Amino acid sequence: MHKITIDLADVLHQETRQHTATIPATVELGEMLEFLDVGDHELDLDNLLARDGQVALIWSGDDVLARRPDLNDEQAWAVLIRAKEDHERDHCQLDFIESTADGLYPRGDEAKERLRGRVADILKQIDSLPADELLSHATYGEVTAKLDQADKALSKLSASA
């Protein structure tokens, strides 16, 4: 979870630098903040972005140093800046998004191959089960119900093709 801490007093001071705030009376901003006991306020960045269907990826110098412990903090920062610039310039974020979508939801023949692979893995698991007392009745029922669901889903795909 990514959180950001905002010093509300500092923000209000910056926004009202040469102004006074009218509450019902003119009050010096610093006195008002002391009275209100306004300090840092933590916001959940992930929740704020999720409202608009957005996400943010955050990299830190520690991320760089985990891969390149031979670098110092200044060098790690330079790597982050370059990575950000390259990322934005080359639109590699779009390639990464497409690649992630293809991984989750493959298309065409690749989707069929992945399904075949999954089925082959399931068949291997079935073959490795002991012959006597194969499964409890409850487990057998649960597995067959899920296979029925998969069968129905594949039938719908075939019918819509």
pLDDT of 126 strictly over 80: yes
- Distance of alpha carbon 154 from alpha carbon 145, whole angstroms: 14
Q: Note the pLDDT tens digit of each residue in 139-159.
A: 888 888 999 999 999 888 888
Q: Above 80 in pLDDT, residue 83?
A: yes
Distances from the Cα of 43 to the Cα of 2, 55, 57, 121, 141, angstroms: 9, 15, 16, 45, 47
Q: Which of 59, 56, 4, 10 is nearest to 33 (CA)?
A: 10
| pLDDT digit string, tens, across residues 17-70 | 656 655 566 767 777 666 665 566 677 888 888 888 888 888 899 999 999 999
User: Residue 14 — pLDDT band, cuts 50, 70, 90?
Assistant: low
Closest by Cα among 126, 122, 127 to 150? 122
Provide the whole-model pTM.
Answer: 0.48
| Average model confidence (pLDDT) across the chain | 81
Percent of the chain at pLDDT exceeding 90? 26
pLDDT value for 16? 66
**Dihedral angle at the C-alpha atoms of 148, 151, 152, 155, nearest 10 degrees?**
-160
